């Protein structure tokens, strides 16, 4: 089946034997009819018109006052077969526009209702969720503070033991000049303190590099699981 462009070109070619003004009016009439019908109805219009030859015959018959369908008046060429159909098409388009407008309004109302329900849900959740959130936040802050406090205590003990051990070793060495046995005891005590300080230093390094990252990773994973479960329930 030919399309609109092919149909109108063929029709214009078949109307070469009538006057230019009459040909333009006829071509304009059928172009307007296609425009009014819309692209989606193009195939239906071509089927109704039958063929360019049939339309050209109708136009020429109207000009010769031999046909009943086409005529030229003061308003130009008209084809009575399609005047009622034009009104039906226009009414159909108007109904489609009204339906589209109605759907848009309904969609806007649905979106507004969803927003209202979400806001109400948040307001209702505040009395329950806020205390839980505050409690969880307090526990988290307390836990982090405790970890930091332990780390500070271990670091302070480490520094004290190392400095104390070094000091005792120095005193013991001096003491060994006057009283070697007492000096040896003091040096031994200093070495023990220094060894314990080194152990605490290693413990501090382990806490900073291993324990604290592991603890915070566990807390992050816990909160992630909680929120993921809430998301799954909501879905």
Residues 121, 115: Cα–Cα separation, whole Å = 10
Residues 81, 72: Cα–Cα separation, whole Å = 14
Return the structure tokens found at 66: 């031999």
Is pTM beyond 0.85? Reply is no
* Bridge partners (DSSP) listed for residue 70: 79
Q: Are 200 and 154 in contact (CB under 8 A)?
A: yes
pLDDT in tens, the chain (235 residues): 789 999 999 999 999 999 999 999 999 999 998 998 888 888 888 888 889 999 998 888 877 754 444 554 434 456 655 555 555 555 555 565 666 666 666 676 677 878 888 877 777 767 766 676 677 677 778 877 887 888 898 889 999 999 998 998 999 899 888 888 888 899 899 899 999 999 999 988 998 888 888 887 888 887 777 667 655 555 5
**Backbone φ, ψ for residue 19 (5° rounding):** -65, 155
- Report the DSSP pairing between strands 70-73 and 76-79: antiparallel
| Contact partners, residue 44, CB within 8 Å, separation at least 6 | 37
């Amino acid at each position: 089946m030919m399309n609109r462009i092919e149909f109108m070109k063929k029709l214009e070619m078949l109307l070469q034997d009538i006057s230019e003004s009459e040909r333009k009016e006829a071509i304009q009439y059928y172009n307007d009819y296609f425009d009014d019908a819309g692209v989606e109805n193009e195939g239906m219009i071509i089927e109704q018109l039958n063929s360019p030859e049939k339309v050209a015959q109708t136009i020429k018959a109207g000009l010769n006052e031999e046909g009943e369908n086409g005529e030229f008046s003061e308003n130009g060429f008209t084809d009575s077969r399609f005047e009622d159909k034009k009104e039906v098409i226009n009414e159909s388009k108007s109904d489609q526009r009204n339906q589209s407008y109605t759907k848009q309004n309904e969609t806007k109302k649905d979106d507004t209702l969803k927003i209202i329900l979400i806001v109400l849900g948040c307001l209702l959740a505040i009395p329950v969720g806020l205390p839980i959130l505050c409690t969880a936040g307090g526990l988290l802050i307390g836990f982090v503070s405790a970890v930091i406090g332990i780390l500070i205590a271990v670091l302070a003990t480490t520094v004290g033991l190392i400095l104390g051990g070094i000091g005792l070793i120095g005193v013991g060495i001096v003491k060994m000049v006057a009283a070697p046995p007492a000096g040896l005891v003091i040096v031994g005590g200093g070495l023990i303190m220094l060894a314990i300080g080194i152990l605490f230093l290693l413990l501090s390094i382990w806490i900073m590099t291993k324990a604290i990252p592991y603890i915070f990773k566990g807390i992050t994973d816990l909160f992630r699981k909680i929120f993921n479960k809430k998301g799954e329930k909501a879905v």
